[in-house]
Structure 1
Amino acid sequence: MTVWDGPVVDKFGRVHRDLRISLTDKCNLRCSYCMPPEGLPWLAKENLLTTDEIERVASVLARLGFVEIRLTGGEPLLRRDIVDVVARLSRIEGPEGPLRISMTTNGIRLDRVMDQLKEAGLQRLNISLDTVNPARFAELTRREKFEDVLAGIQAARDSGLRPLKINAVAMRGVNDDEFCDLLRFAQEHEAQLRFIEQMPLDAGHIWSRVTMVQGHEILEKLQAEFTLEPVGERGSSPAEVFTVDGGPTTVGVIASVTAPFCGACDRVRLTADGQLRNCLFAREESDLLTLLRSGGSDEDIAAMLRATISGKRAGHGIDDPGFLQPDRPMSAIGG
């Protein structure tokens, strides 16, 4: 038996088919729940994965049965060669055909490159928007970029790529009075809304289980104004999804803290500086960058991935008394 034989399976029987690649740790917003106003110490340029390296890793994983790549950040649109990255990845084929390429973005600059990204092979977009109040957006993100995000969402809507999803982090005392407004906004823009419980991935390590908005609270607020009906089995999807007033709009809740979906997780993450992570909340990483730059073969890459997945825990352990928040913030890990 070789490293190429069979799917990538952990010791709990979970087959891994989804790769999240962070293209940069930099972001053009300074969301208060993510990073301080002055930003963070950015990764050195020479330590970032090159496009050739990203393409090589993706080719190996496609051969191992991975079918989807989600490009994240930081903010992936800050990568100058983002269109080339998408084009190269979308041409990679595995046993089940070409890789499916999606992206999570804050939407800033999206209107300038949307047509090019679609032509390059991008198939799906998730756009982050935590508030539809311009003044609140400026306060939360510490940037006057609300109109830029709206332009990006409009460009995504006009592109025809579906499903178009809007992600909103639910925060008590910040946007918990806007949940219904956010859902109406999604309906107006032909988007599917996904609320996310705030997770312990902030740079300042000030997250609090006591103050976080829980998934059931989100649903209770929405049900005061909308009729929600559950949508079938979620599979490996992180969201519990509901149709809104009979559809076609759906709303989902990603309750990573209070209702974790670890039992069906099929994801592995690659940071912008080439570290493999088998869980968003992992405290251990596998140094793929050094392997790539020291002459490692494709077999070596495959073996490292299998070893990384083999060490994956049953769950992220947020509810465990001994849980420790990862040293890296979300902007450095990639969403």
Structure 2
Amino acid sequence: MLIDTHGRIARDLRVSLTDRCNLRCTYCMPEEGLRWLAKPELLTDDEVVRLVSVAVTELGVTEVRFTGGEPLLRPGLVGIVERCAALAPRPRLSLTTNGIGLARTAEALRAAGLDRVNVSLDTLRPEVFRILTRRDRHHDVIAGLDAARATGLLPVKVNSVLMRGVNDDEAPDLLDWALRHDYELRFIEQMPLDAQHGWQRGDMVTAAEILERLGARFALTPDAVRGSAPAERWLVDGGPARVGVIASVTRPFCRACDRTRLTADGQVRDCLFAREESDLRTALRSGASDQDIAGLWRTAMWGKKAGAGLDDASFVQPERPMSAIGG
């Protein structure tokens, strides 16, 4: 198992397949983009599958989430999903995507063995989408969501980040829309993971503010025990529909964290906000056995800190932005 000194066991693996993205969200990266990883630095498809196999068969991982950047930009994505779905024991497989390109790939991904998707959508207004993402692709995201639901990639979860003075007035409208389309909406507090390092706590729309705005239109009742899930959930108007809030900054859930992360260039991160990484790619390419790699992975996770320390005065934002880490 991947256990740390605080007794937490990591059973959920987030795998970044690329640091590239076809949007330029203002809270993530600058308009001109970033310096992408060179192809030799990236794990190959075979290397990704092998590391996922080690995690599943040697280390007790039961859930695998493919992320980015934007994972739909990875040419070998469908094949990676198919090969990971064939592992025994079979892990649950999901994908976090901006939804662009999902309309044309959802059916193939479902056939390959993908179980469900999380799609990022911060606004219902195309003109606000253009401001937030610097791209005119709102219609493509909506089409991707429709395709995911139609092909059975369920439950379809929608991730929304509210930006003060931009889209923070849309919380109730987003929830009403999600309920009508049978999507599970989750609001995410803006985190200090932007490439520009411009995040300011005072600019962030907090979980408390989000719930207050939702409460003006809906009756919210706390859901059952949260467990290790990052989202606190509420029943909407008595249920069964739910809405979630991921409050990594104001209501951290580090005590129950069960995640381990693998970057697109083969580095293990024990925390989203970690400033240190452990290199598996070099060992992989140097002929290490599965057992050797598993040992390195266990060592990397053993030293995981008790918390991310966002409220500590000494907190320093990691050098890698979210696009290069994987959510």
The residue aligned with 2:25 is: 31
Is residue 12 of structure 1 aligned with residue 6 of structure 2?
A: yes
SS in 1 for 2:209: helix
2:176 pairs with 1:176: no
How far did 1:161 drift?
2.5
* 1:288 matched residue in structure 2: 280
Give the Cα–Cα distance (whole angstroms) in 2 for the partners of residues 276 and 25 of structure 1: 15
Distance in 1 between residues matched to 2:180 and 2:151, nearest whole Å? 15
Equivalent residue for 1:310? Answer: 302
Match of residue 68 from structure 1: 63
Q: Distance in 1 between matches of 2:14 and 2:131?
A: 29
What root-mean-square deviation, in Å, do the aligned CA atoms of Structure 1 and Structure 2 show?
0.8
Q: 1: CA distance between counterparts of 2:203 and 2:72?
A: 32
1:247 shift after superposition: 2.4
2:323 alignment counterpart: 331
Deviation at 1:246, TM superposition (A): 2.2
Percentage identity across paired residues of the two chains: 61
| Paired residue type of 1:200 | P
Q: CA deviation at 1:299?
A: 1.3
Q: Distance in 2 between matches of 1:256 and 1:157?
A: 28
The one-letter code of the counterpart of 2:71 is P
The one-letter amino acid of 1:81's match is G
TM superposition shift of 1:248:
3.0
Relative distance call for 1:161 and 1:247 in structure 2 (3 A) is farther
Distance in 2, Cα, partners of 1:322 & 1:174: 30
Residue of structure 1 in register with 2:79 after alignment: 84
- Structure 1 residue 229: Cα displacement: 1.0
CA distance in 1, matches of 2:2, 2:264: 22
AA paired with 1:277? R
Where do 5+ consecutive residues of structure 2 fail to align?
A: none
One-letter code aligned to 2:216: A
- Counterparts of 1:131 and 1:249 in 2: how far apart (Å)? 20
Q: Secondary structure at the match of 2:324?
A: helix
Tell me, yes or no, if the aligned pair for 1:276 and 1:305 is still in contact at 8 Å.
yes
**TM-score using structure 2 length:** 0.98
Q: 1:3 is matched with which residue? A: none
1:126 to 111, 118, 123: 118
Q: Distance in 2 between matches of 1:328 and 1:128?
A: 20
**Residues 18-73 of structure 1: CA deviation (Å, up to 9, x unaligned):** 10000000000000110001100000011111111111111111122100100000
Aligned to 1:259: 251
Give, as a single letter, the amino acid of the residue that structure 1 aligns with 2:191.
Answer: M
- Partner of residue 113, structure 1: 105
> What do residues 267-316 of structure 1 show as CA deviations (whole Å, max 9, x unaligned)?
01000011100000000000111111111111111011110111100000
Identify the residue that residue 4 of structure 1 maps to in structure 2: none
TM-score by length of 1: 0.96
Bigger mean CA offset, 325-334 vs 183-192: 183-192
Is the 2:148–2:154 Cα contact (8 Å) retained in structure 1? no
For structure 1, list consecutive stretches of 5 or more residues without a partner in the other structure: 1-6
How many residues are matched? 326
Code of the aligned partner of 1:333:
I
Which residue, out of 226, 237, 241, partners 2:233? 241
Tell me how far apart the structure 2 counterparts of residues 89 and 135 of structure 1 sit (CA, whole Å): 39
* More moved, 289-298 vs 24-33: 289-298
Shift of 1:210: 1.5
- Residue 145 of structure 2 is matched in structure 1 by 153
Matches within 5 A, 1:165-244: 165-244=157-236
Q: Is the 8 A contact 1:157 1:189 kept in 2?
A: no
* Kept in 2: contact 1:26–1:331 (CA 8 A): yes
3-state SS of the aligned residue for 2:161?
strand
1:216 Cα deviation after fit: 0.8
